[in-house]
A = this chain, B = another copy of it.
Amino acid sequence: MSHTAELIAVGTELLLGNIANTDAQMLSQGLSALGINVYYHTVVGDNPDRLKAAVELAKTRADIIITTGGLGPTCDDLTKNVLAQCFGRQLVFHEPSARRIEAYFQRLHPNRPMTDNNYQQAMLPEGCTVLDNDWGTAPGVAFEADGVRVIMLPGPPRECKAMFTYRVVPYLKDLADGVIVSRTLKLFGIGESSMEAQLRERMNAMTNPTLAPYAKEGECELRITAKAADEESAHALIDPVEADLKAHFGPLVYGVDIPSLEAAVFALLKEKGLTLGTAESCTGGLVAKRMTDLAGVSSVFRGGVVSYATEVKHTVLGVDQDLLDQYGAVSEPVARAMAEGARKVLGCDLAISTTGVAGPDPDERGNPVGLVFIGLAAPDGTWVRKVNLSMGRQRIRHIAASHGFDLARRYLSGLELK
């Protein structure tokens, strides 16, 4: 039997636009993976009447209602009170939760007495399943009434996500009607519209698995999603589609279910036992930052030089002053010399360099915003890619850094460097 969930987020801060409803996104992904349909998201403020109206409506069109927010001590447990009322339940004091809240509070504020409103958080609907919260003070709650499963989760995204993963998924497991499995191919070096155009007919003809294209920050994704009785059967549906797409897009595919280009580079460096360094101008530390976002990267990443001032390119990276004078800092020869300089100065096998105009204004030589040279120096040669990125400052920086990772990835994979 197929199930339908409705998400109700409670919080005036959402209606004022102070925060985005990212809980709804996370829960939707998670429910979809369980094969549970989500037909509506609703957001209401900290207002009992409007929350009540939303719950009454949800009862008519969903058999799972998940609320987020309104469980904190400062909002008088609005959500619990209203939901208990909607489903005719009393709130009763739950001793173990009170002890958990005390312990949590004491770990956080060893020198401050716990106030009464924190104990209020231990008042829970009678006969409910308590979803222990190991990531905050407010316990989550689940119960069944009027043919509906009601689940209340805390609002802070970190808590909400952990509670969903470790408490709600096990609680809902018996409802899952088969499984939905997704696999995502990541592509760099092709635009979304071009990718879509090449796939449109195929996508329209597919029903299970389905194929969905996405674009984000200069990259493209192709998500293959299959629905089946179990994970194994779902994967068997996905395998041939993945193989087919890889053959079609070739070296544009940099990985499958991999978080980022830099993660692909990290894996390849580890595999080959090689080290990396950076020499950055317009990206200003972003290449190094993205690399060191990855835990454990110290085994392959040596460091970098951010040579934002032209002089630093000469003094620290050893770029010839003649090159800088003749071609300017934003040029192919300087990108080359920066990458080669970084290899020497940092003692690394490979070095990525970037030099370009991130904007908002053209540089003093009149190079336009978005012109970037990206270099890769390796023991057997140096390659430079020139790109024109007509977009805003942060996107230029991000995509220029991605080109650096793409060069490294292609070099390490033995692909043509272009």
A contact residues vs B (CB 8 Å cutoff): 14-22, 24-32, 38-45, 47, 50, 54, 57, 108-109, 193, 212, 214, 278, 280, 283-289, 291-293, 295-298, 301-309, 311-312, 315-316, 345-347, 358-360, 393-394, 397
Bound CA span A22–B43, Å: 13
Cβ contacts under 8 Å, A305 to chain B: 303-306, 316
Residues B316 and A288 in contact, CB atoms below 8 Å apart: no
Cβ contacts under 8 Å, A39 to chain B: 15, 44-45, 47, 50
Cβ contacts under 8 Å, A359 to chain B: 295
Residues B21 and A21 in contact, CB atoms below 8 Å apart: yes
Residues A346 and B21 in contact, CB atoms below 8 Å apart: no
Of A16, A312, A345, most buried by chain B (CB within 10 Å of CB) is A16
Residues B28 and A41 in contact, CB atoms below 8 Å apart: no
- A343 to nearest B CB, angstroms? 13
Residues B21 and A38 in contact, CB atoms below 8 Å apart: no
Q: A14-B24, A315-B347, A316-B345 are in contact. List 7 more A-B contacts (CB 8 A).
A: A15-B41, A16-B38, A20-B21, A40-B43, A285-B291, A285-B304, A303-B316
In this complex, what residue of B is CB-closest to A196? Answer: B74
Cβ contacts under 8 Å, A21 to chain B: 20-21, 24-25, 41
Residues A20 and B15 in contact, CB atoms below 8 Å apart: no
- A40 to nearest B CB, angstroms? 6
- A288 to nearest B CB, angstroms? 3
Which residue of the partner chain, among B16, B40, B311, contacts A50 with CB atoms under 8 Å?
Answer: B40
Cβ contacts under 8 Å, A30 to chain B: 17
Oligomer: number of copies: 2
- A418 to nearest B CB, angstroms? 20
- A405 to nearest B CB, angstroms? 14
Residues A360 and B295 in contact, CB atoms below 8 Å apart: yes
Bound CA span A302–B315, Å: 12
Which residue of the partner chain, among B214, B286, B307, contacts A285 with CB atoms under 8 Å?
Answer: B286
Cβ contacts under 8 Å, A41 to chain B: 14-15, 21, 41-43
- A314 to nearest B CB, angstroms? 11
Cβ contacts under 8 Å, A285 to chain B: 278, 280, 285-289, 291-292, 304, 306
Using A25-B20, A32-B16, A285-B286 as known contacts, say yes or no to A298 and B306 having CB atoms under 8 A apart: no
In this complex, what residue of B is CB-closest to A302? Answer: B309
Bound CA span A236–B39, Å: 46
> 9 A-B Cβ contacts within 8 A?
A15-B28, A17-B24, A17-B31, A20-B21, A20-B22, A21-B21, A280-B285, A301-B309, A303-B316
Using A50-B40, A109-B193, A292-B284 as known contacts, say yes or no to A302 and B298 having CB atoms under 8 A apart: no
Bound CA span A308–B312, Å: 19
Cβ contacts under 8 Å, A47 to chain B: 39
- A400 to nearest B CB, angstroms? 12
Bound CA span A345–B312, Å: 8
Cβ contacts under 8 Å, A283 to chain B: 289, 292
- A380 to nearest B CB, angstroms? 23
Cβ contacts under 8 Å, A57 to chain B: 57
Bound CA span A325–B12, Å: 55
Residues A346 and B316 in contact, CB atoms below 8 Å apart: yes
In this complex, what residue of B is CB-closest to A275? Answer: B309
